[in-house]
Amino acid sequence: MSGEKLTPSSGASSGSVDVVKGINGLDKVVLRDPRGSSAEVYLYGAHVTSWKNDHGEELLFVSNKAIFKPPKPIRGGIPICFPQFSNLGPLDGHGFARIRFWSIDNSPPPLQTNTSSKTFVDLILKPSEEDARVWPHSYEYRLRVALGPAGELSLTSRVRNTNADGKPFSFTFAYHTYFSVSDISEVRVEGLETLDYLDNLQHRERFTEQGDALTFESEVDKIYLSTPTKIAILDHEKKRTFVVRKEGLPDAVVWNPWDK
Ligand SMILES: O=P(O)(O)OC[C@H]1O[C@H](O)[C@H](O)[C@@H](O)[C@@H]1O
């Protein structure tokens, strides 16, 4: 495998960050923690396509029909929806960030984080002329993808308004994470009970969730409003729990298309 090393990986406790060629020759960054966990991020879309725990088990779902061919979005992993989530605006669904080539930012502004991870990469997206025609704002979007010592994956987004006249802009945004689970009938989501949601399958009508943890019996596509900072996805068959922690992102979408 040929590649570029971004940080020296000397010493047993430090991780490694390498840039290598992925599917169809697209560049990807591979983060590895010495305890065995890893993550992969394609520069195309700043798209995390793999996250493995220290047993080498894949934790993200990527469709076997996923096409790694620009300008198609990659189906699975963690697509970045920016500057528009879904069809909540005039742009194509989920905006353009997931179908743009991002760059590695070797000297990002300092970032205060609550993890001690040294295994990370900073990616940056700036507007292209083509994007400026449909979304006329000047910005710098920085994404840090970090792998923590316990194998935890964290994504931190920073969007800076670089409009010359300081004119504000607004956007909608989501990390559209596809978690890998076993049999969906064995899965429960905790933390969203009793909350209000907009049902995408019913013209975004507003309903209130009942008191029990969520289970799945058919297609689900709901936007939960004002959700807690911690949501858990329990997979009984795999005996595995994903704990999703978030800051600054009030809503949470639960989507299961049922048919792959
Ligand atoms: O097919 P995509 O453009 O990747 O979108 C996939 C899905 O994204 C979100 O979760 C929306 O709520 C769904 O309605 C949509 O189908």
- How far does residue 57's CA lie from ligand 1's centre (Å)? 26
Per the CB < 8 A criterion, the answer to whether 28 and 46 are in contact is: no
Where, residue-wise, is CATH 2.70.98.10 in the chain?
Answer: 16-175
Q: Is the CB of 200 under 6 A from ligand 1?
A: yes
Q: Is the CB of 93 under 6 A from ligand 1?
A: yes
Fold exhibited by the domain 16-175: Beta-galactosidase; Chain A, domain 5 (2.70.98)
Q: Is the CB of 253 under 6 A from ligand 1?
A: yes
Q: Which of 18-27, 83-92, 109-118 has the lowest mean pLDDT?
A: 109-118
ipTM of the complex as predicted: 0.91
pLDDT digits (tens, 9 = 90+) for 121-135: 999 999 999 999 999
- Please identify, by atom number, the ligand 1 atom nearest to the C-alpha of residue 79: 4
pLDDT-based confidence at 11, cuts 50/70/90? very low
- How far does residue 86's CA lie from ligand 1's centre (Å)? 6
Residue 133 φ/ψ, nearest 5 degrees = -70, -35
The order of strands in the sheet holding 47-52 is: 3-7, 16-21, 27-32, 38-42, 47-52
Per the CB < 8 A criterion, the answer to whether 225 and 197 are in contact is: yes
Per the CB < 8 A criterion, the answer to whether 147 and 113 are in contact is: no
So what's the pLDDT on residue 37? 97
Per the CB < 8 A criterion, the answer to whether 142 and 124 are in contact is: yes
- Report the sign of the C-alpha dihedral through residues 236, 237, 238, 242, in that order: negative
So what's the pLDDT on residue 161? 97
- Which DSSP symbol is given to 24? G
Question: Is the pLDDT score of 14 beyond 90?
Answer: no
- Report the sign of the C-alpha dihedral through residues 246, 203, 98, 61, in that order: positive
First CA to last CA distance, the chain: 32
The reported pTM is: 0.94
Nearest CA to ligand 1 atom 3: 93
223 vs 10, more confident: 223
Pairing type for strands 187-190 and 252-256 reads unpaired
Question: Is the pLDDT score of 119 beyond 90?
Answer: yes
pLDDT-based confidence at 1, cuts 50/70/90? very low
- How far does residue 85's CA lie from ligand 1's centre (Å)? 9
- In the chain, the DSSP E strands lie at 3-7, 16-21, 27-32, 38-42, 47-52, 80-81, 103-104, 119-125, 139-147, 153-161, 174-175, 187-190, 196-199, 205-208, 220-224, 230-235, 240-245, 252-256
- How far does residue 103's CA lie from ligand 1's centre (Å)? 25
Question: Is the pLDDT score of 145 beyond 90?
Answer: yes
pLDDT-based confidence at 100, cuts 50/70/90? very high
pLDDT-based confidence at 6, cuts 50/70/90? low
Angle (nearest 5°) at CA 94 between 97 and 163: 50
pLDDT digits (tens, 9 = 90+) for 226-257: 999 999 999 999 999 999 999 999 999 999 98
So what's the pLDDT on residue 7? 53
